[in-house]
Structure 1
Amino acid sequence: MASEEKRAWISALVGFVVPVVYLAFVLSKVPGADVAEIAYVVPMLASIGIGIGVGIVLAIVVAVASPRDADRTDERDREINRRGEYVAFYVMSGAAIVPLVLAMAEVAHFWIAHALYLAFVLAALASSVVKIVVYRRGW
């Protein structure tokens, strides 16, 4: 397995697990509560930081485990990365419409922030999934 494919798997895993844990924690407070009073900013920032940190640490662990492949990328890796980022751009562009509409409708900041957070998560997951599929099946 190429090092770039391993990074895509790490990104997919972290990009799925961290938001699910965060959303389970924060959204469990929504029933019966005024969303304007739910403290979500610090947990959201923490989940973003934890996601970045865990992704970096796991990438380092994988690089240390197989040092020969750590810095090896070729044209195929660059093309796969480009395709994944291309898809992520379109997913983010489409998903960003939701928080925009919520802001125009003057919905609570809680929902706007979470719609935007979800847009970023979906874009990252789409990028990782595309990369993994292309590595596994080719283009």
Structure 2
Amino acid sequence: MTLTEKRAWITLVVTVVAYTVYVIVITARVDGRSLPDVPYAGPLLTTIVGAMVAAIVIEIVLSAVTPNASRVQDVRDKEIHRLGEYVGQSFVTIGAVSAMLMAVVEWDPFWIANVIYLCFVLAAVLGAVAKVIVYRRTMPEW
């Protein structure tokens, strides 16, 4: 398994775990209030930063544990990375447009922030899934 494939797996697992933790923390804080009244900024920022730090630490640990793993990227690795990024970027755009429309109609900042976070999560997860699938199979022909 190449380093780029490991990165895809790390991104997939860390993103899903971080977002799940965020949802659990927010739903635990509801306590009879409506969702927009729940303090969300701290958990949102903590899970985002925590996911980034965790991904970096896991990659460093895996690199130390498997020093003989291939770090060379060939053309196929670059194409797989590009394909995964294309798959994921559509959700970044969907999130940005959704957030803009929600701001225009003056929705609560809770919903705007959460739609952006969800779309970032979907972009990372779907991009990583696409990369993992292509690593296990062949590149699609366009």
- TM normalised by structure 2 equals 0.89
Q: Which amino acid aligns with 2:71?
A: D
Matched residue, 2:27? 27
Contact kept in structure 1, 2:2 and 2:71, CA below 8 Å:
no
Q: Which runs of 5+ in 1 are unaligned?
A: none
Q: Percent identity between the aligned chains?
A: 37
Decide whether the 8 Å contact of 1:35 with 1:108 is kept in 2.
no
Task: Give the ranges of 4+ consecutive aligned residues of structure 1 lying more than 3 Å apart after TM superposition.
Answer: 34-37
1:1-139 equivalent positions in 2, closer than 5 A: 1-30=1-30, 32-69=32-69, 71-139=71-139
Following superposition, the deviation at residue 40 of structure 1 comes to 1.2
Offset at residue 70 of structure 1 (A): 5.1
Shift of 1:36: 4.7
CA RMSD of aligned residues (A): 1.6
Residues 93-121 of structure 1 show CA distances to partners (whole Å, capped at 9, x for unaligned) of 12333222221221111111111111111
How far apart, in 2, do the equivalents of 1:70 and 1:33 lie? 51
CA distance in 1 between counterparts of 2:101 and 2:42 reads 24
TM-score (ref. length: structure 1): 0.91
What secondary structure does 1:45 align onto? helix
